[in-house]
Amino acid sequence: MPDVTRLTPVAVMILATLREGDMHTYELVRLLRERKDDRLVPLQKGTIYHTVARLERDGLLAEVGVDRDGNRPERTTYTLLEAGRRAVEEWVRTELPQIERPTDFRVALAEAHNLERDDVVALLDRRRALLVASMDEHRTGLDGAAHRGVPAQFMVEVQRQAVLLDAELAWQDALRARLADGSLAWGPDEIPEHFTKARVSKETTP
């Protein structure tokens, strides 16, 4: 299987979307934009088409048919291969515990539902340790700066980051608690049937 560390966030989102069923690239573009996934990463049509081609070369997805509707251009339909399914899961396992790559973390969080509940709890616990260590480092730096009399105007960014880390830890602890006690619905069996069928029933137009 290709090295998952080389997958881009866009590639992961494409593979994860194909877990919902076979579709052509136009539908991938429509779904990603409809779901506002461009708030996570830029979603340029050319980039998506190029990424799909690369994922096919890497053996993570495959063509399953070509269709033409009237005068519209031919559309190639793709399916997710087992290697692609495993690649999504492995990428999420790699990125979810991290704190240094915020964009990758947001995509990993958005796709965390592809993992089992207990796996996500364990990965968040690993991330928590990094958050606490970073918080301690910032507090030590702030205390040291105050002791040395560093002017406050030089410390505003560090102070901001310390506040953000506090908020991040509080948010993550709340999420972990909901996962651990089962109050947060998780996994495909918890998704309402009408939601999973919404994509299939919607017409796609150019």
CATH of the domain at 40: 1.10.10.10
Write the burial class of residue 10 (CB in 10 Å: 0-12 exposed, 13-18 middle, 19+ buried).
Answer: buried
Examine residue 108 and state whether it is found in any structural domain, yes or no.
no
Examine residue 111 and state whether it is found in any structural domain, yes or no.
no
**H/E segment holding residue 178:** helix 156-181
Examine residue 112 and state whether it is found in any structural domain, yes or no.
no
Examine residue 159 and state whether it is found in any structural domain, yes or no.
yes
Same domain assignment for residues 83 and 125? no
The Cβ-side half-sphere exposure at 190, using a 13 Å CA radius, reads 11
Examine residue 206 and state whether it is found in any structural domain, yes or no.
no
Mean of the pLDDT values across residues 138-153?
Answer: 93
Same domain assignment for residues 166 and 150? yes
Same domain assignment for residues 72 and 156? no
Same domain assignment for residues 78 and 152? no
Same domain assignment for residues 147 and 126? yes
Same domain assignment for residues 12 and 93? yes
Same domain assignment for residues 94 and 122? no
User: Distance (Å, rounded) from C-alpha 142 to C-alpha 149?
Assistant: 10
**pLDDT the model gives residue 206:** 42
Same domain assignment for residues 121 and 91? no
**pLDDT the model gives residue 171:** 97
Same domain assignment for residues 12 and 91? yes
Examine residue 180 and state whether it is found in any structural domain, yes or no.
yes
Evaluate if residue 108 carries a pLDDT over 90: yes
Evaluate if residue 203 carries a pLDDT over 50: no
**pLDDT the model gives residue 198:** 46
**pLDDT the model gives residue 66:** 84
Examine residue 104 and state whether it is found in any structural domain, yes or no.
no
**pLDDT the model gives residue 102:** 92
Mean of the pLDDT values across residues 84-95?
Answer: 96
Angstrom CA distances, 114 to 65, 124, 152, stand at: 26, 15, 45
Same domain assignment for residues 20 and 57? yes
**pLDDT the model gives residue 202:** 47
Enter the pTM of the model: 0.86
Domain range for 36 is 4-98+189-201
Share of the chain above pLDDT 70, in %: 88
**pLDDT the model gives residue 162:** 93
Examine residue 25 and state whether it is found in any structural domain, yes or no.
yes
Same domain assignment for residues 160 and 196? no
**pLDDT the model gives residue 181:** 96
**pLDDT the model gives residue 153:** 94
Q: Considering its fold, how many domains does the chain have in total?
A: 2
